[in-house]
Amino acid sequence: MINKNFIITLFLCNCFIVNCVFSQSTIVPDQELPNKIPIMTSDNAPYGRAYASSVYSSYYPAWQAFDDTKRRSLWISKNNGTYTTQYLEYDFEEPITINAYNITPQTGNLTDRAPKNWNLQAWNGSYWKTIDTRSNMTESYWDAKASRNFPVNPAVRYTKYRLRITSTNGSPVVSLYDFKLFGPESISYKKSEKIESNLFDDNGSKFDFEIMPNPNNGQFHISTFVELYEPAMAIDDTSRVYILPRAGQHLTNNYSKVPVEIYNLQGILVYSSTINGNSDDIKLNLNKGIYLVVVNFESKKVTKKLIINK
């Protein structure tokens, strides 16, 4: 039987021998991997907890680094005039193992907000244990590729993980679009979690929509789509249900007209219309604030937060 680890021995010209041990579980940086963190819609939903040491304002909360909106919303730390160490944390409901993580900072003309030095840490019940350290990740490093994966050695399961950013590339604030944690297991949803279960049909199709941009000034684009998942689900001895994404899962929906409703936080309907086809532009004359957008896919409803920032 072949051992999972194999050794490559390099004989250099001066006869010095270097042994390099590689593992079959090694993660290649910058490849696409399943995220262990659910798509968050608030600091505590759908489950787990997103937390940050500080926020720039209520429009840039911690959970927006975990909402997977592909660079349309972000977490920004508080501006104290000069940069002080900041951290971004996610707490799972049960211990998990990770073998890589992803950071997607704000770049372009704001690359100075990208992390330069940081530690990835895990809470072991007594203190924050550093499991990975990166140094001198300069603006040119992030400009070359603005989203990076970093492998770590999977070993112990932890419930809490945090990214402790000790310095930026010059800015007094740090801005992140995404912070993801990858694990050797498939993406998991608790068996007791009901928030998204009714969004799947019998063929493993999940109905969803996007708001772009968000936050906005009352004018935005809304598009609907279908994500395909493997309908078969495996339950292990921890009572977790695994839903496996299919390759090329993003599809347009099959509905010609999709009802859209927008409510304020008091539950009052402030807008109602239909999307013709898969997408539409919406213009609202509403006050600055937070609203709830509800899209109806026949008997299925999907709700997302809309932030108007005039």
Q: Are residues 180 and 212 in the same domain?
A: no
**Does the residue 66 lie in any domain?**
yes
Within-domain flag for 114: yes
Residue 223 pLDDT? 83
Domain end, chosen from 185, 217, 236, is at 185
- Residue 41: inside a domain, yes or no? no
| In a domain? residue 299 | yes
Contact 192, 94 (CB under 8 A): no
Residue 77 lies in a domain: yes
Together in a domain, 140 and 213: no
Q: Which of 129, 154, 185 is the last residue of a domain?
A: 185
Query: Domain count of the chain?
Result: 2
Q: What pLDDT sits at residue 71?
A: 57
In terms of domains, do 65 and 131 share one? yes
160 and 108 in one domain? yes
Q: Is residue 179 classed exposed, middle or buried when 0-12, 13-18 and 19+ CB atoms within 10 A define those classes?
A: buried
Cα pseudo-dihedral 185, 191, 194, 197, rounded to 10: 60
pLDDT at 122 over 50: yes
At 144, the pLDDT band (50, 70, 90 cuts) reads confident
* Residue 128 falls inside a structural domain: yes
Q: Give all strands (DSSP E) within 71-174, no chain letters.
A: 75-76, 86-96, 100-105, 115-123, 128-134, 148-151, 158-168
Please tell me the predicted confidence (pLDDT) of residue 176: 96
The reply to whether 155 and 251 lie within a common domain is no
Tell me the CATH number at 167.
2.60.120.260
Between CA 307 and CA 264 the distance in angstroms is: 11
Q: Which of 29-38, 71-80, 92-101 has the lowest mean pLDDT?
A: 29-38
| 207 and 179 in a common domain | no
Q: Indicate if 62 and 178 belong to the same structural domain.
A: yes
Q: Report the side by side order of strands in the sheet with 300-308.
A: 269-276, 257-264, 289-297, 300-308
Task: Round the average pLDDT of the chain to a whole number and report it.
Answer: 76
CA dist., res. 54 & res. 60, Å (int):
10
CATH number at residue 205: 2.60.40.1930
160 with 223, same domain: the answer is no
* Within a domain: 6: no
33: pLDDT confidence band, cut at 50, 70 and 90? Answer: low
Give the per-residue pLDDT at 190.
Answer: 39
Q: Are residues 249 and 292 in the same domain?
A: yes
For residue 98, how far is the Cα from the chain centroid? 14
Query: pLDDT band at 228, cuts 50/70/90?
Result: low
- Identify whether residues 155 and 207 lie together within a single domain: no
Q: Give tens-digit pLDDT for 152-209.
A: 987 688 999 999 999 999 999 999 999 999 987 544 443 333 334 344 444 555 677 8
Is residue 148 domain-resident?
Answer: yes
State the Cα–Cα distance between residues 136 and 144, nearest whole angstrom.
14
Give percent above pLDDT 90 in the chain. 40
Q: Which of 185, 212, 240 is the C-terminal boundary of a domain? A: 185
Residues 222, 150 share a domain:
no
Amino acid letter, 171: S
Same domain for 213 and 96: no
Range 18-33 average pLDDT: 41
Model confidence pLDDT, tens digit, residues 34-69: 789 988 889 988 888 999 999 999 999 999 999 886
Structural domain of 223: 197-308
User: In terms of pLDDT, which residue wins out, 158 or 234?
Assistant: 158
